[in-house]
Structure 1
Amino acid sequence: MKNPTKHLKRLTAVGAVALAAFSLSPAAASALPSGNPAGDGEPGTTIVGGTRAEQGEFPFMVRLSMGCGGALLEKDIVLTAAHCVDGSGSDTSITATGGVVDLEDPAAVTAKSTEVLQAPGYDGQGKDWALIKLDKALDQPTLPIAKDDAYNEGDFTIAGWGADQEGGDQQRYLLKAEVPFVDDATCKSAYPDLVEGEELCAGKLDTGGVDSCQGDSGGPMFRKDDAGEWVQVGIVSWGDGCARPGKPGVYTEVSTFAADIEDAAAQLGG
């Protein structure tokens, strides 16, 4: 188990001190404020060093009411992080908001969760993925997942409504940024407990300054495939603080779990 005071899962939490307390608890999602996806002053912790996304630029993005992000794997199934949910089973407590970059936009569409499927065997280290079944389809494009490691290099795009600085507040507008791939050997030197083969690292090692942060957990890391279409290669998971030099962001390596994710989606009726 990672030290929760050092390696922070990137959930939204109430204030900087609470970030450590919530960092690794699988039940953290249910302990967090759940009713304020619009970000109207509720403390939280988007993308550091990012710029505002354009409306419709990443239409597969959704905001989850427990303080995480996600992407539409199917129109009625959200792919997010395992640490954002509290186990598997029936769950009607989560609201997914999509269709907008401005969470206060009246054009936002919402759906409620009906069931959650957390990665089998998840224990806080590796395997950080989960699916949320929605009570209705959202009329938005979906984000395909990488089936192999062909796209696990290069520059990636990250996006979210989390903190724009370490210890900062949840954002009203979706922010985006680009982060470069960091190889496993280099990342392992920064994080000895990195789970190679299950986790993927990205960030500006020398300078820092660009990263996902608290409130971005569960959101996608993605890039263009050979056909010029977006494909998801990672899921925002954890890191030491946000955007620190020498401390890249750590993401679930989606291609490792692609078959499992597709099987789980089929179980949920996707």
Structure 2
Amino acid sequence: MSFDTLTGIAPVIILLVALLAASIKILREYERGVVFTLGRFTSVKGPGLIILIPGIQQMVRVDLRVVTMDVPSQDVISRDNVSVKVNAVVYFRVVDPQRAIIAVENFLMATGQLAQTTLRAVLGKHELDEMLTERDRLNLDVQKILDAQTDAWGIKVANVEIKHVDIDESMIRAIARQAEAERERRAKVIHAEGEKQAAVALLEAAQMLAVEPAAMQLRYLQTLTQVAGDRTSTVIFPVPGNLLDGLFKQAMAGKPPAAEP
């Protein structure tokens, strides 16, 4: 084969190699290819070796792995009119490559924008205390709403996690005062419950002592023992109440009548 012949067929060989390279595609295990023939959807192929007709067929790669999307901080006004900044993270993946490419222009951007609006809408229906204490329930509510709305795009939202709830400094001080007041209220309630229980115990003890008079004498002797053990010079002499009543009545009976003016 002469040099002129090789020179003549070289462009043809180069063209064939270029066409072969353009027609062969390799998809990884986590990738799928949405194939269009003359602009019309044909099939979803992959993974492995894919052969396309150059110039007639086109392929769009779709990643099936879980996507971690950070939702920027959103200004939310709670139901009790408290302004907070909330950010979250969304975990989702493509389950239907055909709908993810055909039904929406850019499923990543669409899912991100929908996550922002849904986060503001859901949290705006709850009070600040619920945002701080019931975060798991709020995560589940946002996840269910996102999953229902992105199902038409072939997207499965696996999880939504609220990361931070930023509160103004003045509101933090107000929450601290509220917590302090709550602790004081609990302390007063506990103290009142203790007084109530002590009163009930004293009433039961008095009823038991009234049934057996000798028990009162034993209680008196026990009190004397405790006082004597303290090395004090105090002398305790119990006087029955009925004796004092009798003396008072006698004193009132023997009182001389008042002088007439």
Give the alignment's TM-score, normalised by structure 2.
Answer: 0.21
Larger Rg: 2
Structure number with greater CO (CA < 8 Å, separation at least 6) is: 1
Between Structure 1 and Structure 2, the one with more strand by share is 1
Q: TM-score, normalised by structure 1?
A: 0.20
